[in-house]
Amino acid sequence: METVLELTKENIQQIVDVSMKQLVVLSFWSQQSPESVALCQTLTSMAQKQSGRFVLAKVDCDKEMEIANYFQIQNVPTTLVLSEGKPIDGFAGSQDEGQISAMLDKHLPAQWELQLNQAKNHLALHEFEPALVLLKQAFAESPNAEVALVYADAQLMAGDLVTATQLLDSVGLADQDSYYQSLKAKLALALDAADTPEIRQLQQAFDSEPSNIAVLMELVKALHQAKRNEEALGLLFTPLSKDITIENGDAKKLFLEILTALGQGNALANQYRRKLYSLLY
């Protein structure tokens, strides 16, 4: 369903059907009323900026007198809020964006709830990347347990076990439901899988010879393969912070390759990118 559309006799039933699941704002306007044209433009801008929170149905009263009469519209501009096929709020005359937002907020879900629901739809299709973008925004706005659990689920799909652990640790006892328990079990299995015999062997070799950068680099590669990137970058940054050209520059090259693999939007990569730049400049 489009965010903004023209309401006509042909699609009015469709709009009523939409209002059974989502809030619909009806904007009654006329070319004869500049005030109503301006208000309609304000509502259009709001609907586009808040994409998904409500549907704006514009009613041109010069063309759709029957619809205006059905809703007993006396003057334009008039704005009605439609839910489950019935008007539940509205106002006559003009209002500014702040006043309109205050009215709509009484009836609309919070932005984080919309983002959470959109993220759940992505996760159902195993699309964790767009889900992570939405969940990061939702968690920043409202870091509650409901968001934290879904966010942790997405991070497990992405293989970010460190962030998944932090998110699950933030969930209080009262919210540790069956979903939480299933995520904890997934995390435990993922951690076990990430602790490979190769990593243990390389870790032992490095522990016995901590100045051997070649062994360290092999350990870092193995940790990166197991998606244990925070450990990998932390280990490699220690010798780089002392000598950026160590191992003929190969250590710096490996470090940059891991950052590139993590991507521009990755918080861990951005953190270590800044650390590296502080050494270079």
pLDDT at 211 > cutoff 70: yes
Give me the pLDDT at residue 213, please. 95
Q: Could you tell me the pTM of the whole model?
A: 0.62
Tell me what pLDDT residue 52 has: 74
pLDDT over 80 (residue 51): no
Q: What is the chain's alpha carbon radius of gyration, rounded to the nearest angstrom?
A: 27
Q: What is the pLDDT of residue 78?
A: 97
Name the one residue in this structure whose structure tokens are 């801008």: 45
- Average model confidence (pLDDT) across the chain: 93
CB neighbour list of residue 256: distance below 8 Å, 6 or more residues apart? 276
**What pLDDT score does 139 carry?**
97
Query: Residue 1: is its pLDDT beyond 70?
Result: no
Tens digits of per-residue pLDDT, 134-161?
Answer: 999 999 999 999 999 999 999 999 888 8
Report the share of the chain in percent with pLDDT over 90: 83
d(CA 61, CA 188): 62
- Overall average pLDDT of the 47-74 stretch: 92
Give the model confidence (pLDDT) of 68-122 as tens digits.
999 999 999 999 999 999 999 999 999 999 999 999 989 988 889 989 999 999 9
Q: Which domains does the chain have, with CATH numbers?
A: 4-105 (3.40.30.10), 111-194 (1.25.40.10), 197-280 (1.25.40.10)
pLDDT digits (tens, 9 = 90+) for 241-275: 999 999 999 999 999 999 999 888 788 899 999 99
